[in-house]
Structure 1
Amino acid sequence: MELLDVRVWARGREASQPDKGFPASAQLRKSETLFRNSGASTGRWKVGGETDDTIDRLKSLGLDTAQARLYVSTLKFGPASVKDLAARSGMHVATTYRKMKELLQLDLVEERLGSPNLYTARDPSEALGRLLERAEANLKLKCYQANEAETSLLEMAGRKPAGAEGASSPKVSYRLVMGRDALYRISRRMKEEATKEILLIVPAKGIRRLVREGYLDEIINGVRRGVAIRMVTEITDANMLEGTELADLIELRHYPRISFRLGIYDRAKCHIGAAYDDDPSSDGSNDIYLIIEDAALAKSMVPLFEGIWEKSVPAASVLKRLKAARPSARTY
């Protein structure tokens, strides 16, 4: 099945911007002009007040009002703590903290660790470029979803998608899905269909979310069916409880600073986290995942897992050290 009509995509790219390939480049130039011409100077850019035009321009590139205001404020006044940003913007401190974490996830600001942590805005040209990349990814995702919907509708109508006649090769599918709920539905199906092996790489905050979403029940069901399950994650003081529960059920190992998601099921299917936010305050609606149902490609991901597995250490030893270092750790 053709997931993306490349000819239609290419015509749009050529008509709008042959060199860059994305029609929103005009948005970038207009946004940079607004930043340059709006007031006081900071570095090589001129940044002034939070004009409605500037905020609206950033919103048109995917930010919400709060994110846009906080980015402009950080850019104008320089490094600031969450408390200072909250006072300046009039937002609640908790809301400001969540929005700055979202900007950090979008790579529009940098966090300087200290007491307190300070946030610094990235240069407008870099920040706007990242927003355009995200907008392009979202647009491509909608194209994928539109093609998926077209295929489903044609099948409901008793017709085959163009080019599907006479196909005899095994089912192969590549698709992007948006939202954590969509991933959980798909990964739950993959776990239920697995009969031999599940290989997982999950970030530290991710295992806390998985356990809260009922993942332990899925693990138990898989183990009962005889499925061998191995997982690599980062064990921290914050996820000791979840790590302990998982270590009692499956082969669990620790690897520091895991920053991506990977799931491989029977070496025939896999999912990869392209962009996601495991912050407890995030609903994950903007998370993007690549779902691959292609045995050849899924098998090619196994060496990546095995390489990390070999460099990791048993979770039990890390859990023992953390518990010894914090005998009065939080009560669950």
Structure 2
Amino acid sequence: MQRQKTNFEYSHKTELDIIEKVNDVSLAFSSALGLDFQSGQIYMTLLRLGPITTGSLAKEMKIDRNKIYRKIDELVSEGFVSMTMSSPKLCIPTDPENSIELVLHKKKKEIERINKVKKDIVRQIRGIVSVPFGTSTPTFRIIQGLTNVYSGISLSLDTAKNVVFIVTSIKDIMRMYHSDIPEKIKICRKNGGQVFLITDSDEKLMIPYIKRLHATENKVAKLPSNGRIIVFENTQMFMSDSTNTSDFMDENSDISLCTDAPEMINNIFSLCTFLWGIATPIKLT
């Protein structure tokens, strides 16, 4: 009996390792191609299973049929999936290398287009707008979509020179792992800034994700909420409601408040300072 239990535990652990590896690759692929995580998972599943009907794919992935039909249509229109002329129709994933080349080509064209018109557009705007850009009045805005949220955070890190607190779940760190944020943290530190990370797990399996974020120091603690707090000393703050829900696969569910209101920033910065004081250092080696 003891031997059977050990075999079962080993098999279960192996299955979890495979799932985690697939999710990790899906995150990397989704990030590289600008897809949401679920679309990346669908593409990876197609690569693993081979030609399959949309209905069978929905059953395999335990996703609502209507939702997966919409996702497949999007992947087809983007060139990542093709459909056979047979009956029933089968989904065929595009070769990964060709998919990446396709995205690179589109991105290059888009960058070239923006570079050609940016100076002229700014000149035209300045010609019709008489007041100076920006305002001294505190502002706030709502950012929807993980890509947009991470872009806003990356842009702020690019120019940060003071203390930055990142308080978020390990799941969020796993997603940041495949974004521009790790490189932007390195730039922030190079510019004289300090980035302090507080997360909810220091399990050995998670250490590579934490390590690659390149924070100045890392600590583990019970977080005040399931959300994300990123506060830049005296300048800006990002707060998301939850990063640890069942909607993990849907990047559009990520909604963040961004503000430069001094009172809010100072209050949250004080909270993060307190959390940092009671948190436990994470050993990265």
TM-score of the superposed pair, with normalisation by structure 2: 0.51
Corresponding position of 1:263: 230
Question: What are the within-5 Å matches in structure 2 for residues 269-280 of structure 1?
Answer: 269-276=236-243
CA RMSD of aligned residues (A): 3.6
C-alpha displacement at 1:310, in angstroms?
2.0
Structure 2: how far apart are the matches of 1:294 and 1:198?
16
How has the CA–CA distance of structure 1 residues 236 and 279 changed in structure 2, closer, same or farther, with 3 Å as cutoff? farther
Q: Which has the larger radius of gyration?
A: 1
How has the CA–CA distance of structure 1 residues 231 and 173 changed in structure 2, closer, same or farther, with 3 Å as cutoff? same
C-alpha displacement at 1:192, in angstroms?
1.2
> Which SS does the other structure have where 1:175 is aligned?
strand
Q: 1:177 aligns with which of 143, 162, 181?
A: 143
Question: What are the within-5 Å matches in structure 2 for residues 24-43 of structure 1?
Answer: none
C-alpha displacement at 1:217, in angstroms?
1.2
How has the CA–CA distance of structure 1 residues 277 and 95 changed in structure 2, closer, same or farther, with 3 Å as cutoff? farther
Contact 1:176 1:291 in 2 (8 A): yes
Q: 2:170 aligns with which of 189, 201, 204?
A: 204
> Which SS does the other structure have where 1:304 is aligned?
helix
C-alpha displacement at 1:202, in angstroms?
1.2
The number of equivalent residue pairs is 171
Instruction: Pick 1 or 2: higher relative contact order, CA cutoff 8 A, min separation 6.
Output: 2
Question: What are the within-5 Å matches in structure 2 for residues 213-252 of structure 1?
Answer: 213-237=179-203, 238-246=205-213, 249-252=215-218
| Structure 2 alignment gaps of length 5 or more | 1-55, 67-124
Aligned letter for 2:238?
Answer: H
Contact 2:166 2:198 in 1 (8 A): yes
Structure 2: how far apart are the matches of 1:270 and 1:214?
18
Question: What are the within-5 Å matches in structure 2 for residues 86-97 of structure 1?
Answer: 91-96=58-63
Contact 2:144 2:255 in 1 (8 A): yes
The answer as to 2:152 corresponding to 1:186 is yes
Structure 2: how far apart are the matches of 1:228 and 1:262?
16
C-alpha displacement at 1:283, in angstroms?
3.9
Structure 2: how far apart are the matches of 1:96 and 1:217?
34
* 1:125-160: CA deviation from partner (whole Å, max 9, x where unpaired): xxxxxxxxxxxxxxxxxxxxxxxxxxxxxx778358
> Which SS does the other structure have where 2:253 is aligned?
coil
Aligned letter for 2:251?
Answer: G
Question: What are the within-5 Å matches in structure 2 for residues 60-99 of structure 1?
Answer: 91-96=58-63
The answer as to 2:128 corresponding to 1:158 is yes
Contact 1:277 1:284 in 2 (8 A): no
Structure 2: how far apart are the matches of 1:169 and 1:178?
23
Structure 2: how far apart are the matches of 1:184 and 1:260?
14
* 1:99-148: CA deviation from partner (whole Å, max 9, x where unpaired): 9xxxxxxxxxxxxxxxxxxxxxxxxxxxxxxxxxxxxxxxxxxxxxxxxx
Percent sequence identity is: 13
How has the CA–CA distance of structure 1 residues 274 and 285 changed in structure 2, closer, same or farther, with 3 Å as cutoff? same
* 1:184-205: CA deviation from partner (whole Å, max 9, x where unpaired): 1111111112111211101111
